[in-house]
Amino acid sequence: MTYPRSANEYAAAESAALSRHWSANAVYGGFGAALTAGGLTAMFVSLAAGVGVGDGVRWFLYAIAAAVVAIILGVIFGVPRERTGFVPGSGERYTSNSNLEQISDWLTKLLVGAGLVELTNLPDAADSLGAYLGDGMKIPNAAAFSLAAVSFGGGVGFVFGYLWTRLRMRLYLEASDRLAAEQSKARGIVENLRRQNAAHAETEAGRDLDRAAQSAVEARKAIGRGSIAPILWVDDTPQNNSALIAAMRSLDIEVTLARSTGEALELFDARSFGLIITDLGRAEGGTYNPSAGVDLIRAVRAKDAMVPIFVFGTHRAVGMQEDLLREGANLVTTRASVLLEEATRAVTTPRTKPLTVTAPAPK
């Protein structure tokens, strides 16, 4: 699923959905108002003819029955079709159906082919229907009065069914499509988390992976109104984290890689990051520095007390958790699910004070 990347794109999508919502509500109101006006008019005509409101009530019931049948036809003609060549993020996935125009064209050709002789039967059929429906009515010209109910109710019902389907069903289809895309994305993230854990000989329960993936997707969706702060990931062997980085990038989170403390500080000075992830020990300048992560934490904290810093790596780092937290780290973990969930929360939450991590303590 591709989320709006800017406030303008989000506002445009939100405005379009809101417009369709209110348009659908207007269709409801118009349908009810039209039938009510028709029924009141019929009762007024019935009273004016001196036959009471009985015939007007029958007219109203005929109109409702015709409207129900016509609504079904309107729904069939108005079912949205999927856009061909649709690209996520480029616009709406569904557009109005063209079947109504096609069927009109087919019917026109059929009527022309059948000839004018067959059309002469239509008035007789209308007369028969009017006589049947008007039987027992006391109002003058009961047949025409009854046919007016069928024509009016059928027209109103068809327009309502067609417009409602074009406006409301499109919302349902798009919502279903978004939900399916989110679930697909979450499944892909779970697979990346499993690969990440396998590469580091870590084991996590499937429910923890599912929860972390769903939480990350929800957090990313919630921030669709604005942009996401990038992540600076410092590790001398970034290929070991490729699956987890892929999971983050699938959420449209930018991840910038650095292989040393010096390179990381240069990048940090050049732009703003929403989160720094670092390993504890790494090779720098041809020499292995077992406390490179601590050096980075101290250097960053001397510049910025707010940016979250997560230490992700070996169990040696977990054993030094208290020391690392005291130096200024916000999280120490070896679990991919914990890192993904907390990292997504960190870069999608506006930072007004130092981050408080809610992840469980590492085992």
Check residue 17 and give its pLDDT. 55
Give CA separation, 351 vs 58, 71, 303, 347, in Å.
66, 52, 16, 9
CATH topology of domain 200-348: Rossmann fold (3.40.50)
Check residue 11 and give its pLDDT. 47
Please say whether the beta carbons of 225 and 10 come within 8 A: yes
Torsion of CA 31, 108, 103, 161, to 10 degrees: 10
CATH 3.40.50.2300 domain range(s) in the chain: 200-348
Helix axes 292-303, 261-270, angle to 10 degrees: 20
| Beta carbons within 10 angstroms of residue 45's beta carbon | 16
Give the C-alpha separation, 119 to 109, whole Å: 13
Q: In the chain, what is the greatest distance between 2 CA atoms, to the nearest angstrom? A: 107
Question: 112-147 burial by CB neighbour count: b if 16+ within 10 A, else e?
Answer: eeeeeeeeeeeeeeeeeebeebbeebebeebbebbb
Q: Are strands 231-234 and 275-278 parallel, antiparallel or unpaired?
A: parallel
Measure the CA angle with vertex 54, ends 51 and 55; round to 5°: 75
The residue type at 168: R
Give the C-alpha separation, 38 to 59, whole Å: 9
Check residue 2 and give its pLDDT. 38
Check residue 265 and give its pLDDT. 93
Check residue 277 and give its pLDDT. 94
Residue 102 phi, psi (nearest 5): -65, -45
What is the separation of C-alpha 193 from the centre of its chain, rounded to a whole number of angstroms?
A: 24
Using alpha carbons, select from 283, 335, 336, 333 the residue that is nearest to residue 308: 333
Residue 310 phi, psi (nearest 5): -110, 135
Regions of the chain where pLDDT drops below 70: 1-24, 80-119, 177-178, 182, 197-205, 220-227, 350-363
Check residue 90 and give its pLDDT. 42
Please say whether the beta carbons of 308 and 346 come within 8 A: yes
The secondary structure of 86-155 as a DSSP string is: --TTSS-SEE---HHHHHHHHHHHHHHHH-HHHHTHHHHHHHHHHHHHHTT--STTHHHHHHHHHHHHHH
Give the C-alpha separation, 303 to 222, whole Å: 30
What is the separation of C-alpha 274 from the centre of its chain, rounded to a whole number of angstroms?
A: 26
Please say whether the beta carbons of 158 and 73 come within 8 A: yes
Measure the CA angle with vertex 184, ends 180 and 190; round to 5°: 145
Which residues lie below 8 Å from residue 79, measured CB to CB, with a gap of 6+? 97, 99, 165, 169
188 burial level (CB within 10 Å; 0-12, 13-18, 19+):
middle
Please say whether the beta carbons of 328 and 297 come within 8 A: yes
Residue 302 structure tokens: 């001397």
Please say whether the beta carbons of 139 and 48 come within 8 A: no
Q: Is the pTM of this model over 0.75?
A: no
**Residue 304 Ramachandran class (φ > 0 left, ψ -120 to 50 alpha, else beta):** beta
Check residue 193 and give its pLDDT. 74
Give the C-alpha separation, 238 to 234, whole Å: 8
**Tens-digit pLDDT profile for residues 132-155:** 888 888 899 888 999 999 999 999
